[in-house]
Chains A and B, each alone.
Chain A
Amino acid sequence: MDVAGKVAIVGIGHTVQGELPGRSVEENAVDAIVAALADAGLAKEDVDGLIACKSAQGLGNDVAVGELLGVNPPYAQCLDYGTCNFSLHLAVMAILSGMAETIVMSYGANARTGKVDFGAPLGGVDLATASGLVHIAGPAALALQRHKYLYGTTDEQFGWIAVGQREWAGRNPNAIFRKPLSMADYLATPYLVEPLRRPDVTMISDGGVAVVVTTAERARDMPHTPVYVSGIAEQSGVRGAYNPDNLLRPWLRDAARSIWTKTGLSTSDIDVLYIQDPTAVWSLQMLEYYGFCGIGEAGPFLAEGHTRPGGRLPLNTHGGQLSESYAWGWMHMVEAVRQLRGDAGERQVDGAGVAMYCSSQAFSKAAASILSTDPAVAA
């Protein structure tokens, strides 16, 4: 089934991103839902679907969020953490199948004040973790080191991801890290897990984010310009460690092939690009796999400045998880909508009509969405 132009994002909302001591995951999710519904001009009773995405601790599922929001929508579902893009895809499928007409998707987190230990092994202890390969920065550093070896990528080339995103964050009042970061500053920052420095790795913050999605028909009566879903694609890599070269996530290339084939669009159609970034390595990989530059060429491409303010491929214009906040990629979607609505203030990209959001769930899944104010862009 072709999804192009049939479903639209009509509401976005979020809490303050930062430190929200004493507040539960569900409170943050519900506050964001209230904001997103207000943005869409809807009451909670107008929603017949709820998709809640879990926090890193597994909290904030649909049952817990539904209880606090006080609703019994006909359709309620829960996805794992880090799955904003996947939640959007599920919402599109639920709407197009007639399961629901208007869905609110939510995510809540209190990882910062809740002091979640992101260095704790996720499964049992194997030789790698017992040897000290802990935290997402470890495997990301291994992937980057391999990239450097294969293609000659330099620290400075790679550093343009973090430096560029900080430039964008300086134009974003919601961003937590706004202090200017020059390339000299970046290079002077000590390594965290070499070759990664602290600015290359996500911050940890609290907050909630929500997005309201409905049919194209209903969207036309909503207060804001509808942001249509032009294409969606996913590709899993759930074979995990038994994929050849899984540290390099080669299956991302299949997600790319799928979204370009399904939409008939190409990289030159994309005005603003969003890449979920637990580490900057994810951006390096996805620029290549989605074809914005050749394989192995992301270093020189970044150094040419394309992704920075004023460049031809603005990347993570809110600052991403490196500079704005840690919302598992949910704020990436919010920012894409703001840019397409023309509401991005000082960081507004002129003529932003088509946005792409590429995300992944670490070493197991990839998702891509193309969004546009033109319902026919991919039709």
Chain B
Amino acid sequence: MSALLPDVDDPVAGPFWAAAREGRIAVQRCLTCGRLRYPPLVGCPDCLGRTYEWRDLRPTGTVWSFAVYHRALHAAFNGQTPYTVAVVELDDGPRITGRVLPGAQPVVVGDRVRASFESVTDEVTLIQWQLL
């Protein structure tokens, strides 16, 4: 099995993965200009501030777009098709892309979702989206 797994010890993204393991969505907030940013980045691309804190966001949002993989385009996803990946605009602003949990209904843009935290190894927990 050649699963695609993130480096949860990455010096920049590590706290994001640690938060996910604890069932939270945490993103960086620039201490200079106050903007939230995701994906994790070492500095603020708006004001170039290098100091930041991690801020927990509400786990709810709206589907901005989605795509349904009918074929695995990487061996790690063999046997998982069809699966849906959605860009979710969180109620607190940032957009986070993750897998949609299989549900009774097909996804449509604008659907409300809530984060679900799916542990795939002892160290890696993926944020997935549950249709509300």
Contact = CB atoms under 8 A, between A and B. Distances in A.
Contacts of B98: 127-128, 131
B6 A127 contact: yes
A325 to B, nearest CB: 21
Contact of B68 (A117, A118, A129, A191): A191
B126 A132 contact: no
Interface in B49-82: 64-77, 80, 82
B6 A242 contact: no
A72 to B, nearest CB: 42
Contacts of B69: 132, 138, 193-194
Interface residues of A, number: 36
Nearest to B86: A142
Contacts of A130: 4-6, 124, 126
28 contacts: A119-B75, A125-B7, A126-B13, A127-B98, A127-B127, A128-B97, A130-B4, A130-B6, A131-B99, A132-B80, A132-B85, A137-B73, A138-B69, A138-B85, A142-B85, A142-B97, A145-B65, A149-B65, A149-B108, A149-B109, A190-B70, A194-B68, A194-B82, A239-B45, A241-B39, A242-B45, A247-B65, A247-B87
B24 interface: no
A142 B63 CA distance: 11
B34 interface: no
Contacts of A127: 6, 16, 39, 96-98, 126-127
Contacts of B72: 132
A121 B126 contact: no
B70 A193 contact: yes
B7 to A, nearest CB: 6
A120 B70 CA distance: 17
B74 A131 contact: no
A218 to B, nearest CB: 45
Given A138-B67, A149-B110, A124 B7 contact: yes
A137 B108 CA distance: 19
A141 B72 CA distance: 14
A242 B94 CA distance: 10
Given A131-B126, A132-B69, A146 B109 contact: yes
B100 to A, nearest CB: 9
Contacts of A137: 73
Contact of A141 (B67, B96, B108): B67
Contacts of B80: 132
A142 B74 contact: no
Interface in A142-156: 142-143, 145-146, 149
Contacts of B108: 149
Given A125-B5, A132-B99, A146-B65, A138 B70 contact: no
A247 B16 CA distance: 23
A221 to B, nearest CB: 50
A135 interface: yes
B128 interface: yes
Given A134-B74, A149-B109, A196-B67, 8 more contacts: A117-B74, A120-B74, A124-B10, A125-B5, A126-B39, A127-B39, A193-B69, A194-B68
Contacts of B67: 133, 138, 141-142, 145, 193-196
A323 to B, nearest CB: 20
Contacts of B126: 127, 130-131
